[in-house]
Structure 1
């Protein structure tokens, strides 16, 4: 099994090639030669380019999470998320060329975008948790997906920005977070409404069963209760 150092060397070589050429042109033989490893070692470490993208995202995740010192605990969740995502952009900065090449390919290759999306969503769930925002369950998954899409739009602005102070990037992130807050409020209202509708429906079903003397069978289907009979077999009401 290849050492961690060898794996990092291959990943660094992949990012360098991606910045110099394009995603499509990074072939296994070219990458193995650039990293100075045998093709068999490359295959054992990274059996696909998707696995390389995933390793890159994980590296960025770890670096951002290591930066979180907890000194913003008293800040609103939105401000904490802003700080976390700007830290992510700062961490991506040394690989701006590679990120740009990957984004360019995804815009023209929907299949690659679909492959990368789960990786981006998983990363954003970690970013949400780092900001103290619960990213568990279906609600967390939906929010993380929204953040992944919003962050991709911010990255597009960042890739075109030349000012080191990144005013346009920060303004874009601020706008996306404002939009995201509105979406989360709408999502929570929809969740509450769904809960109210479900509760009301359950109450109506119970009332209907009481009034009509219905019951459910083993499959949950509502069926009339069998008519009761007296000792002579006559129906009683």
Structure 2
């Protein structure tokens, strides 16, 4: 006697949304449609995802995992730009089965600020791990700039990828290379600026520390006077 393999309901819901989104406008897809397509109840859907937008986040995490599982140290000796290029292109390769759906989704949402803001945060989370996979730190003074730069590089390149039907993805690779080179120049300029302003930032910290010391001394003096009857004279 054989038993059916357990159904991965999270995967079923993500795949169902992608199938529906490939042929229907985003605004026309109801959560009941997704549940029916996935073969799950609304209660099961709710346990796994709070909205159809969250299902897109689930797809992003699935792609993150696929890219991270395939990450190796083969490019460890290469420049950071080459390592990031490799990781992002592997991400596009992993997204290829969902390209038709993503093309329609992005066209439908590009002028809707609330979903775009949510998608931006999803992309920030993904790029944090993509940079880590490429061996690029997002900590330190320039960490936030690197992360937001990666988001911008990815978003700009994705617009090209969505319209690039060439199996070799020549246009996508050319766009990604241009975006990464531009990002390199921005980071180099920011690093130069950080070094140039280091003495001024040190002076600013010293002044702030001096002000805090004065405030602490005044507070200590006032607290001592509170117990002294002569303080009221």
Name 2:225's counterpart in structure 1: none
Name 2:44's counterpart in structure 1: 41
1:91 counterpart (89, 94, 108):
94
Name 1:57's counterpart in structure 2: 60
* CA deviation string 1:27-79 (max 9, x = no partner): 11111111111111111111112211111110010011111111111111110
Contact 1:80 1:131 in 2 (8 A): yes
TM-score, with structure 1 as normaliser: 0.82
Name 1:185's counterpart in structure 2: 188
> Which structure carries more relative contact order (alpha carbon 8 Å, separation 6+)?
2
Aligned length: 213
Contact 1:128 1:134 in 2 (8 A): yes
2:160 counterpart (134, 142, 157):
157
Name 2:111's counterpart in structure 1: 108
CA distance in 1, matches of 2:215, 2:125: 42
Unmatched 5+ stretches in structure 2: 1-5, 220-233
1:120 counterpart (115, 118, 123):
123
Name 2:203's counterpart in structure 1: 200
CA distance in 2, matches of 1:131, 1:33: 39
| Residue 138 (structure 2) pairs with residue 132 (structure 1) | no
CA distance in 1, matches of 2:28, 2:177: 35
Unmatched 5+ stretches in structure 1: 210-214, 222-237
Q: What displacement does 1:157 show? A: 0.9
Q: What displacement does 1:201 show? A: 3.9
Contact 1:125 1:140 in 2 (8 A): no
Superposed CA RMSD: 2.4
1:148 counterpart (141, 148, 151):
151
| Residue 35 (structure 2) pairs with residue 32 (structure 1) | yes
The equivalences for 1:15-30 within 5 A come to 15-30=18-33
Name 1:228's counterpart in structure 2: none
CA distance in 1, matches of 2:217, 2:167: 64
In structure 2, do the counterparts of structure 1 residues 25 and 202 end up closer, same or farther at CA, with 3 Å as the change threshold?
closer
CA distance in 2, matches of 1:150, 1:73: 21
CA distance in 1, matches of 2:21, 2:141: 34
CA distance in 2, matches of 1:4, 1:129: 32
